[in-house]
Structure formats: structure tokens, C-alpha cells
């Protein structure tokens, strides 16, 4: 029995490797799609954001490059957004992980709400030029302990951010990010420039894992047969 445990212990701790990985998602017209859904909204002041998002099959419009009045976030493309509330979506993939942080930056004319997998992260609902003027941009950070830091690293603070963001809200596999962008209805227009940087500690199977599994099973069965033969004799 002790030998069995030793073999199992060796196998369990040799089956995976832990390493750091970085992933960046930026606004562009290649990896983002705009929804056909839009809502008339003239809330002023203090846009409260939205409580639901359009269905997946409505994201069929390729965004227009060239967001009006928007200063550029490093590495991102400025995208245009017409009046009312418009929705923009992109996806990214995550492997199994033990730790994750996320750094969000946005310049927007006029307002924005950020969602990860349907969960609201941050909201900027005021009508002010600070939303789209030059850096520092609005910035929020999800830390490894799930806390949310508003105005991270000298960035502008959002009007609202989530109190925390649990690891369970991220998905192993395909994830989505949705931005709800708001301009006053009736001819107002603007746009956004957005960037998200993820730092992920991934759990990755070792190439030798399947070989080790076969060897482990073989030796466990061999030990069982020897123990059985001893009992019979």
C-alpha cells in the first residue's frame, strides 16, 4: 500500500506544469463585432448603465474605424459609435489557471460599461470631456485576490466598479468581453479606444503526463497482483 501511495504521489505532482502567460485584447475592426441592437437614451446626468446585453446572434456588424473625439489607448484602434446605446463584443480564450489579473483601460465619448462573460466590471456614466481627452485614461484593475482597484496606477476612476470579481466569473475556454457605449440620442456620436491586459498563471499538462499515467497504472496493477498472490499462498 505504501508503494502505491508513493507512485500516485509522484504521478500527481509530475502531471502538470505551472507557468505565466500574458494576453492583451484591444479594440479593432478585426476581432470585434457590433450588435444590431441599439437603445435610445438621453439620461443626463448619470447614465446608470444597462442590466442586460443583446443576444449573441445580433453581433453581425463590423465596427467602423475612427472614433470621434477619442484619444488613443496604446495599441488599440479607435472605433466609431453612433448615438444611443451601442454594443461591441470580442472573445478570448483561457487555459486552466491558478491565478489571474486584469487591467482595463478605456477612452470613450461619451460613456461606457464593461462586461466580462455577462458580469459588469465598471461603468462610466457622466457626460464630461475627461472621458475622451488625452491620458490618463479610465483604468480599473482586477487583482489576484479578486479585489477591484478603481483608478488603477494613476488612471481616471470610473463612476462605478464591482466590489470584487471572483475567479469563477472567468471561463476555461472561450470568454467574451462586451462594451456598452452610450451617446445622447438625436445625432450625438462618439467612439472608444479600449485595452485589456491579462496576466495568467496557467496549469499546463506536461508532455510526459500520459506516459506517466500508463506507467503508474501498470505498476499499481502489478503491486495488486503480487499482494493478491501473497494472500492466496
Model confidence pLDDT, tens digit, residues 71-93: 999 999 999 999 999 999 999 99
Model confidence pLDDT, tens digit, residues 211-228: 555 555 665 666 566 655
Contacts of 231 (CB under 8 A, 6+ apart): none
pLDDT given for residue 45 in this prediction: 78
183 close to 39: Cβ distance less than 8 angstroms: no
pLDDT given for residue 43 in this prediction: 84
Q: Note the CATH number of domain 18-206.
A: 2.60.120
Going from N- to C-terminal start, the domains of the chain cover 18-206
Low-confidence ranges of the chain (pLDDT < 50): 2-14, 208-210
pTM of the predicted model as reported, rounded to 2 decimal places: 0.81
Q: What is the CA radius of gyration of the chain?
A: 24
CA distance 75 to 28: 10
Burial of 181 (0-12, 13-18, 19+ CB in 10 A): buried
CA distance 120 to 94: 19
Phi then psi dihedrals of residue 215, to 5 deg = -65, -40
pLDDT given for residue 232 in this prediction: 54
Largest CA distance in the chain: 92
CA distance 102 to 141: 6
CA distance 204 to 224: 31
CA distance 79 to 72: 10
pLDDT given for residue 211 in this prediction: 52
pLDDT given for residue 12 in this prediction: 46
CB atoms within 10 A of CB 149: 15
pLDDT given for residue 20 in this prediction: 81
Q: Which residues pair with 181 in a beta bridge?
A: 86, 112
What CA–CA distances, in Å, run from 106 to 7, 91, 114, 168, 179? 51, 17, 10, 24, 10
69 close to 191: Cβ distance less than 8 angstroms: yes
Amino acid at each position: 500500500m505504501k508503494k502505491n501511495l508513493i507512485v500516485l504521489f509522484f504521478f500527481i505532482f509530475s502531471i502538470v506544469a505551472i507557468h505565466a502567460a500574458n494576453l492583451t485584447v484591444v479594440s479593432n475592426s478585426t476581432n470585434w463585432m457590433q450588435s444590431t441592437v441599439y437603445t435610445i437614451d438621453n439620461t443626463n446626468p448619470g447614465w446608470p448603465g444597462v442590466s442586460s446585453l443583446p443576444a449573441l446572434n445580433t453581433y453581425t456588424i463590423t465596427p467602423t474605424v475612427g472614433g470621434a473625439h477619442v484619444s488613443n489607448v496604446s495599441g488599440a484602434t479607435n472605433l466609431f459609435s453612433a448615438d444611443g446605446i451601442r454594443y461591441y463584443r470580442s472573445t478570448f480564450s483561457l487555459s486552466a489557471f491558478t491565478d489571474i489579473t486584469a487591467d482595463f483601460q478605456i477612452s470613450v465619448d461619451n460613456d461606457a460599461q464593461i462586461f466580462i462573460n455577462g458580469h459588469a466590471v465598471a461603468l462610466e456614466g457622466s457626460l464630461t470631456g475627461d472621458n475622451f481627452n488625452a491620458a490618463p485614461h479610465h483604468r480599473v484593475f482586477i487583482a489576484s485576490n479578486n479585489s477591484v482597484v478603481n483608478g488603477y496606477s494613476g488612471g481616471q476612476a470610473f463612476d462605478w466598479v464591482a466590489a470584487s470579481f471572483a475567479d469563477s466569473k472567468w471561463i476555461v475556454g472561450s470568454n467574451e468581453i462586451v462594451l456598452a457605449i452610450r451617446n445622447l440620442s438625436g445625432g450625438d456620436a462618439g467612439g472608444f479606444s479600449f485595452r485589456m491586459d491579462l496576466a495568467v498563471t496557467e496549469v499546463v499538462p506536461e508532455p510526459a503526463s500520459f506516459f506517466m499515467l500508463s506507467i503508474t497504472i501498470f505498476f499499481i496493477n502489478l503491486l495488486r497482483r503480487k499482494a493478491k498472490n501473497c494472500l492466496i499462498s
